[in-house]
Amino acid sequence: MAGTHGGGGLFQFVTIRLLPPMLRFETAGESHGECLIATLTGLPAGVPVSLEAVDRELWRRQQGYGRGGRMKIESDHAEIVAGVRHSHTIGAPIGILIHNRDWKNWSEALAVEDSGGAEDKRKPLTRPRPGHADLAGAIKYDFHDARYILERASARETAARVAAGALAKALLGEFGIAVLSHVVAVGSARLERPAEWDEIAALSRKGEILLGCVDAEAEARMKEVVDEAYRTGDTAGGVFEVVAHGVPPGLGSHAAWDGRLDGRLAQAIVSIQAVKGVEIGFAAEGAASFGSKVQDTIHYHREERRFTRGANRAGGLEGGITNGQDVVLRGFLKPISTLRRPLESVDLATREPALAAYERSDVCAVPAAGVVAEAMTALVLAQAFLEKFGGDSLRETRRNFLGYLEQVKSF
Ligand SMILES: Cc1cc2nc3c(=O)[nH]c(=O)nc-3n(C[C@H](O)[C@H](O)[C@H](O)COP(=O)(O)O)c2cc1C
């Protein structure tokens, strides 16, 4: 994607860097505002879109043992208002609204026009909660009430990401790529074995979600951790794993730091609220092992005329390029910051010590974070996919994709 400005050298280099990605998305909306908004620009025309499939993803994000009362109020529904007609994308920017059902209780606190009402009607938050954006954001944006900060920093925003991600999944699905997640740890309770793709797929079809673990015994231990957090007024974190299945080799690039898909996926995962670390493949285990035990050996299947690998410890990425194996990422969530038994803080008005504010809150959100991470992974993979195969229409993208598969076959 070279720039259209003439000249070469540094100027052209800068132009290339400033071009936006072919597929891009943004979200807007406050946690208790009228609605959340997502825009997604760059999907080719002709991608089939099912509102039911988008709502199913939104439902999955709302599930899990340990979610707060809000999840019972909100039953999210995506309203697509632009870019999709007669169940297909039309190549125009897509606009999605998700209404907040709680808005009626907040229309005064978060009114768009100031009608000069009493200060306390704004539901001010002056005792910032440790582990939230409250204090850093209040200082940065010069508010002595952290309400506007927490409204936007809240993970409620991730509903909009999930809706956009559902459309990225729809594109990827046309090419046999699926992105799903499962929970591998809640607190100290861990899944002690690898999960098979079929198990993860079966989990995603369930009508009831406890902690999103493929193993009932491990899930029961995870539940005990959440129960303990409930009993003690505390919260729990954990680890989710995202697996992208059916990914072709060759997405992303080793050639430039910002083209490396491992880096782009890591950024996408860590951008999720409360995710403090990411692991690609078996990174932590690998760092403690010798190289001979870590690298995935290379083999060749003559009849099928394709390369195979001894294992997938690299998580499907080598040199920042997909290698044709499943892409496997893990996200590490800190425990939820808002505690029923609040931590020490300071009142922004009086500067006196005070206990942090409490707002209705989740105790554990690891399965939901996994669903958000699926969306982020799907969006980044769809970006890399369109960078490689392009196309203004799905038919054109498919032609380019199939041509590349032929090339790979005869490599
Ligand atoms: C799906 C999901 C739900 C969350 N729910 C809550 C919640 O109910 N209460 C809370 O204090 N934090 C919750 N968080 C985490 C906060 O949004 C996050 O910790 C906070 O915005 C500060 O950002 P940081 O932890 O990334 O620094 C949730 C995170 C995710 C991914």
Task: Extract the tokens encoding 224.
Answer: 């005990």
pLDDT tens-digit map of 41-77: 999 999 999 999 999 999 999 999 999 866 666 689 9
* 51 Cβ neighbours under 8 A, 6+ residues apart: 78, 80
Ligand 1: does its nearest atom lie under 6 Å from the Cβ of 368? yes
Ligand 1: does its nearest atom lie under 6 Å from the Cβ of 54? no
Nearest alpha-carbon partner for 328 in 298, 285, 364: 285
User: Which amino acid belongs to residue 36?
Assistant: L
Q: Which of 41-55, 111-125, 170-184, 299-313 has the lowest mean pLDDT?
A: 111-125
Q: Which atom of ligand 1 is nearest to the CA of 274?
A: 25
Q: Which of 8-22, 219-233, 302-316, 376-390 has the lowest mean pLDDT?
A: 8-22
pLDDT tens-digit map of 83-101: 999 999 999 999 999 999 9
Q: What is the predicted pLDDT for the residue at 13?
A: 53
User: Which amino acid belongs to residue 73?
Assistant: I
The per-residue pLDDT of the chain, averaged, comes to: 93
Of how many residues is the chain composed?
Answer: 411
* 209 Cβ neighbours under 8 A, 6+ residues apart: 60, 63, 64, 203, 367
Q: What is the predicted pLDDT for the residue at 5?
A: 46
Nearest alpha-carbon partner for 371 in 237, 172, 181: 181
Ligand 1: does its nearest atom lie under 6 Å from the Cβ of 363? no
CA-CA distance, 44 to 23, in Å (whole number)?
Answer: 9
Q: Which atom of ligand 1 is nearest to the CA of 132?
A: 22
Percent of the chain residues topping a pLDDT of 70: 94
CA-CA distance, 265 to 373, in Å (whole number)?
Answer: 10
80 pLDDT above the threshold of 70: yes
pLDDT tens-digit map of 349-406: 999 999 999 988 999 999 999 999 999 999 999 999 999 999 999 999 999 999 999 9
Q: For the residues 121-148, what does the mean pLDDT come to? A: 95
pLDDT tens-digit map of 326-352: 999 999 999 999 999 999 999 999 999
User: Are 239 and 275 a contacting pair, CB within 8 Å?
Assistant: no
What pairs with residue 186 in β-bridges? 189, 238
pLDDT category at 7 given cuts 50, 70, 90 is: very low
Q: What is the predicted pLDDT for the residue at 3?
A: 42
User: Are 372 and 158 a contacting pair, CB within 8 Å?
Assistant: yes
User: Are 361 and 308 a contacting pair, CB within 8 Å?
Assistant: no
Q: What is the predicted pLDDT for the residue at 360?
A: 83
pLDDT category at 1 given cuts 50, 70, 90 is: very low
Ligand 1: does its nearest atom lie under 6 Å from the Cβ of 181? no
145 pLDDT above the threshold of 90: yes
Q: What is the predicted pLDDT for the residue at 286?
A: 94
CA 41 to chain centre: 18
Q: What is the predicted pLDDT for the residue at 70?
A: 61
Task: Extract the tokens encoding 240.
Answer: 């989710």
Nearest alpha-carbon partner for 60 in 391, 379, 374: 374
User: Which amino acid belongs to residue 327?
Assistant: V
Q: Which of 239, 362, 363, 374 to mutate to test the pocket of ligand 1 (most atoms within 8 A of CB)?
A: 362
pLDDT tens-digit map of 283-322: 999 999 999 999 999 999 999 888 999 999 999 999 999 9
Task: Extract the tokens encoding 225.
Answer: 């951790």
Q: What is the predicted pLDDT for the residue at 71?
A: 60
CA-CA distance, 203 to 173, in Å (whole number)?
Answer: 18
Q: Which of 76, 125, 129, 154 to mutate to test the pocket of ligand 1 (most atoms within 8 A of CB)?
A: 154
Q: What is the predicted pLDDT for the residue at 116?
A: 78
pTM score, two decimals? Answer: 0.95
Q: Residue of the nearest CA to atom 28 in ligand 1?
A: 155
